[in-house]
Amino acid sequence: MSAERALVLGCGYVGLRLARALSAEGVSVTGTTRSAGRFGEIAAAGARPELMDTGDPASLAALLRPTPEVVFDTVRPLRTGADAYTVESTRAIVDALAERPPGAAVYVGSTSVYGRRGGEWTDEATPIDPVSPAGVARAGAEALYLDAWRVRGLPVRVCRVPGIYGPGRTLRQRLETGAYLRVDDESHVVSRIHVDDLVAGLIAAWRRGRAGQVYLLCDDRPVTGGEYARLTAGLLDLPLPASVARADIRHELSAGAFERRTADRRCSNRRMREELGVALRYPTVHQGVPAALAEEGAV
Ligand SMILES: NC(=O)c1ccc[n+]([C@@H]2O[C@H](COP(=O)([O-])OP(=O)(O)OC[C@H]3O[C@@H](n4cnc5c(N)ncnc54)[C@H](OP(=O)(O)O)[C@@H]3O)[C@@H](O)[C@H]2O)c1
């Protein structure tokens, strides 16, 4: 039997870990980038590197012949200004996939589509209500996918993802360089997920997910930004900077950055656990952050 084929559109931070996990399962993986300079790290993750830019639809169409069993899309809406985005990158991908539908299309979206939740529990049935420009673009991008399922039968799974952390994506560097900004002691609650659990969720969404379905991929226990920062600083034996008042920094941040810093959502992973059967390796940041810092060689 020939190997299953996966196409990872955007082999960046998540895409590389995804490619490595798929290839360890015996899946034949192609991973894309816009820059040939990144071919080495994509090949090292076990994937065949290819150039792809959503601005050049031919580069995308060529990757769909023959049609892979699954396509993972990690490409975010393109930034067109300080607080402006376009979903044209997603539209180019959705149109190409709808022309030659793979067995499944797994879209990596964002929980920013929910907007402000005042710390309330949030799940797939919660109405979306984005407020930040990035959140509005994300809502537009996932609508393109869900419409392609309804109208053109593209077997999509939309995965909404909160803050991703893992090796190379911890607070360490910002704490070490003093770039970490502590706002109101980061008292808002947010959900997170370790990149390896995210990868497990994305693969489960492909293998066990239902077409046209939305999945929230997050860990078991949302924590405040303050708890997250104290955890990281404590493990590294680093001091936390003084907290600044939200009102004092409002004018220093773009609308999008301010929104990210004040998001307050508790996300439920019930559907991920029950429908997709994902057993988290890092149920909370208290397991995941030490593991990530250890993999960085920092602790
Ligand atoms: N970080 C978080 O906490 C978080 C939270 C929720 C959702 N997400 C989303 O998760 C997804 C994956 O995140 P990540 O951290 O892995 O992102 P990343 O490291 O920036 O990787 C993104 C990949 O997409 C490719 N790409 C970007 N624009 C493209 C375009 N126009 N045409 C073709 N390829 C393009 C990049 O290509 P190059 O290799 O050429 O750069 C890169 O390979 C993103 O959509 C992100 O917004 C992230």
* pLDDT tens sequence across 143-162: 999 999 999 999 999 999 99
243 CA distance to ligand 1 middle (Å):
30
Mean pLDDT of 191-212: 98
Instruction: State residue 257's pLDDT score.
Output: 78
CA–CA dist 108, 131 (Å, integer): 19
Mean pLDDT of 110-122: 95
pLDDT of residue 119 exceeding 70, the answer is yes
Q: Whose CA is nearest to atom 45 of ligand 1?
A: 76
164 CA distance to ligand 1 middle (Å):
12
Tokens 């593209």 map to which residue? 154
Query: 286 is written with which tokens?
Result: 């208290």
Tokens 């090949």 map to which residue? 43
Residues flanking ligand 1, CB < 6 Å: 10-15, 33-35, 38, 52-54, 74-76, 78, 89, 108, 110, 161, 163-164
Question: Which residues lie across from 194 on neighbouring strands?
Answer: 165
Residue pair 208/277 in contact by the 8 Å Cβ criterion: yes
Given ligand 1 and candidates 9, 11, 14, 170, which is best to mutate, with the most ligand atoms within 8 Å of its CB?
A: 14
Residue pair 104/69 in contact by the 8 Å Cβ criterion: yes
* pLDDT tens sequence across 222-248: 999 999 999 999 999 999 988 988 888
Q: How confident is the model at residue 185 (pLDDT cuts 50, 70, 90)?
A: confident
Domain annotation for the chain: domains and CATH numbers: 5-168+192-222+266-282 (3.40.50.720)
CA–CA dist 156, 214 (Å, integer): 9
pLDDT of residue 277 exceeding 90, the answer is yes
Count of all residues that appear for the chain in the document: 299
218 CA distance to ligand 1 middle (Å):
18
State yes or no: cis peptide before 66, omega within 30 of 0. Answer: yes
Q: Which helix (H) or strand (E) holds 50?
A: strand 47-51
Mean pLDDT of 175-204: 94
pLDDT of residue 256 exceeding 80, the answer is no
